[in-house]
Amino acid sequence: MRKLPVILAGISAAAMMAGAVTRSPKNDISRNLDIFTAVYKNLQTSYVDSIDVDKSINTAIAAMLDEIDPYTEYIPESEQADFMTISTGEYGGIGSYIGTRDGKTFVSEPRPNSPAIRAGLIPGDVFITIDGDTVTSMSSDVISKKLRGQAGTKVNVTVRRPYGSRELSDTTLSFEITREKIDVDPVPYYGVVRDDIGYIQLTTFNEKSFQAVKDALLDLKSDPRVKSIVLDLRNNGGGLLESAVQIVGLFVPKGTEVLRTRGKGQVNERVYKTTAKPVDTEIPLAILVNGSSASSSEIVTGAIQDLDRGIIVGERSFGKGLVQSTRPIPYNGLMKVTVAKYYIPSGRLIQAIDYSHRNPDGTVARIPDSLTTVWHTRAGREVRDGGGITPDVKVTYPEGNRLVYNIVRDGWSFDFANRYAAAHPVGVPAEDFEVTDTIFSEFKRFIDPDKFKYDRACEMVLDQLEKSAETEGYLNDTVKARINALRDLLRHDLNHDLDLNRKLIETYLGPEMVMRWHGTRGSIIQTLKTDRDVDSAAVVLHDPARYRSILSVKSK
């Protein structure tokens, strides 16, 4: 029998009892349980309408847990599949990401080497029926559950394929797909970037993550070109604590302390050290992070920073320093509960929000930088607690705009990639692809100006100016004429706006198109060509003096 997954630590029941003196008195617990039971029985026996038993109890449990923190939760048996997938990295199904737009659920990205790929599903296929049931009005969650199932069982799927015919009109196709055990690859891509940098992308911390990263690292080190390593933890929300400790152990000596967890009561402390021989303790190392790098990602990032083993590049991480453990509860349920806080080698806690101190309205806020404390890395560099991991090399991105946002959100780039791939079934290698002038011109023609809507900042400002002038009594004929003249001068032209934002649009359009021919791997290769974080890391890794300077204490 598989052990229950432990998210960010395994705290034994005996250790949990150590803090019993700080818990609520037994009399208070008993009294409140009696009150709850009485209220619920009265509702069941006296309320004028019938009450959904499961729904009302689950609502009560959720409301109680919401008062604690976002990570403590009750997981009924019916909802455990996704939870187990995160921790084990496997599930039974057809192997495809799905998306929803305009009430339609569609294939957004089949996984490499999956039953979905082998059956012939492609991005854009809209689900019509599954095993004879019409699913066009069902939610994506329901459709996902219908697609999953025991490995070896069959599922019959009917889809509508945009641009599926020779004339690029829609077609209806049916597939019989045999479900398989789908392994979620935590390392979807690794390779050499910027001529001599070994790049590894890690998307989650599950039972397979350590071996996947180790294998990638060993393979890259065998390449004579590779002089340094970049480990990409951007958008990695975390997972298993033990996996994070193991991955740190690839780069630091055996027996190195990575973190400590402290739960309720002074004796409830556990120390995590690396236990295996490292792969390389000397090769220059950069970790990429952003605001969605959390939990186990921050353990790796924080430990590497505190031990002065490598540089951190990107944006400040999320700031989750809480540890959860899962335990079974009656009727096949699971309880995921926050049992401890973790402290990285410098001794700091990087938790950004103190859920035990809420505002009068129940909301919580990040700990302001002014209230954080200075700690020191092994070499003596100053680092701070209370707000995630602050990069050694901060990277700023240009402010986004509604035009590009709507191109992605409303599926214009996704749909164009589908249409272009239908007309050009054989693409160039991912390393060689570029959005040419011809392709971009075709993309502009693909966008229907009557259907494409986006906020035009200048027009909004002028509308507000006109309203304010009217409110304050200044909107005479002369003022109105001048505002209209400005409106004419600043009138938006979609074709011009697309050309103006071409470079940013291409960072989304290019990977979307390459994915149609070369899947996830090709899309990542295309994305990395213009990746600012990778460029920033490369600048430092290619300058050994600067790399050493960042990791040393500045003389005063």
151 with 274, same domain?
A: no
Residue 293 clears pLDDT 50, i.e. is over it: yes
Residue 105: helix, strand or coil by DSSP?
strand
Question: Is the residue at 518 inside a domain?
Answer: yes
Per-residue pLDDT band for 402 (boundaries 50, 70, 90) equals confident
178 with 154, same domain?
A: yes
Predicted local distance difference test score (pLDDT) of residue 169: 93
- In tens, the pLDDT along 249-273 reads 999 999 999 999 999 876 789 999 9
Predicted local distance difference test score (pLDDT) of residue 207: 94
Q: What percent of the chain has pLDDT above 70?
A: 94
Q: Which two tokens stand for residue 323?
A: 């540890």
What CATH number corresponds to the domain at position 178? 2.30.42.10
Number of domains in the chain: 4
Question: Is the residue at 502 inside a domain?
Answer: yes
Question: Is the residue at 78 inside a domain?
Answer: no
Determine contact, residues 288/330, Cβ cutoff 8 Å.
Answer: no
Question: Is the residue at 103 inside a domain?
Answer: yes
Residue 358 clears pLDDT 70, i.e. is over it: yes
Residue 225 clears pLDDT 90, i.e. is over it: yes
**Rounded Cα–Cα distance for residues 541 and 536 (Å):** 9
Question: Is the residue at 51 inside a domain?
Answer: no
Mean pLDDT of 367-375: 89
What CATH number corresponds to the domain at position 301? 3.90.226.10
Residue ending a domain, among 380, 395, 410, is: 395
Predicted local distance difference test score (pLDDT) of residue 254: 98
Mean pLDDT of 159-183: 94
Q: Which two tokens stand for residue 138?
A: 């069902």
Which alpha helices (H) appear in 128-240, and where do they start and end?
140-147, 209-221
- In tens, the pLDDT along 3-34 reads 333 344 333 333 333 344 445 677 888 999 99
344 with 358, same domain?
A: yes
Predicted local distance difference test score (pLDDT) of residue 244: 98
165 with 221, same domain?
A: no
CA distances from 73 to 25, 214, 299 (A): 23, 33, 22
322 with 438, same domain?
A: no
Mean pLDDT of 496-511: 95
Secondary structure letter of residue 353 according to DSSP: B
245 with 298, same domain?
A: yes
Question: Is the residue at 486 inside a domain?
Answer: yes
Residue 72: helix, strand or coil by DSSP?
coil
Q: What percent of the chain has pLDDT above 90?
A: 69
- In tens, the pLDDT along 433-480 reads 999 999 999 999 999 988 887 766 677 788 888 889 889 888 898 888
Predicted local distance difference test score (pLDDT) of residue 12: 33
Beta bridge partners of 105: 100
478 with 364, same domain?
A: no
Beta-carbon count within 10 A of 367 CB? 17
486 with 511, same domain?
A: no
- Compute the C-alpha angle 347/352/354, nearest 5°: 100
**Rounded Cα–Cα distance for residues 92 and 283 (Å):** 39
φ/ψ region of 45 (left if φ > 0, alpha if ψ in -120 to 50, else beta) reads alpha
Q: Which two tokens stand for residue 234?
A: 């951007």
Q: What residues are labeled active site?
A: 295, 306, 320
Predicted local distance difference test score (pLDDT) of residue 247: 98
219 with 266, same domain?
A: yes
Residue ending a domain, among 139, 155, 183, is: 183
Q: Are strands 311-314 and 285-289 parallel, antiparallel or unpaired?
A: parallel
Residue ending a domain, among 351, 379, 395, is: 395
- Rounded to 5 degrees, what are φ and ψ at 158? -115, 135
- In tens, the pLDDT along 406-429 reads 999 999 999 999 999 999 999 999
Mean pLDDT of 539-547: 98
**Rounded Cα–Cα distance for residues 2 and 541 (Å):** 42
482 with 499, same domain?
A: no
Where are the strands (E) in 226-277, listed by range?
Answer: 228-232, 257-263, 269-273
Mean pLDDT of 491-505: 89
Mean pLDDT of 222-231: 98
Which residue range(s) make up the domain with 214?
A: 203-332+339-395
226 with 302, same domain?
A: yes
Predicted local distance difference test score (pLDDT) of residue 13: 33
Mean pLDDT of 115-131: 97
Predicted local distance difference test score (pLDDT) of residue 24: 60
Per-residue pLDDT band for 73 (boundaries 50, 70, 90) equals very high
Residue 400 clears pLDDT 80, i.e. is over it: no
Question: Is the residue at 151 inside a domain?
Answer: yes
Question: Is the residue at 72 inside a domain?
Answer: no
Predicted local distance difference test score (pLDDT) of residue 23: 53
Predicted local distance difference test score (pLDDT) of residue 320: 96
302 with 447, same domain?
A: no
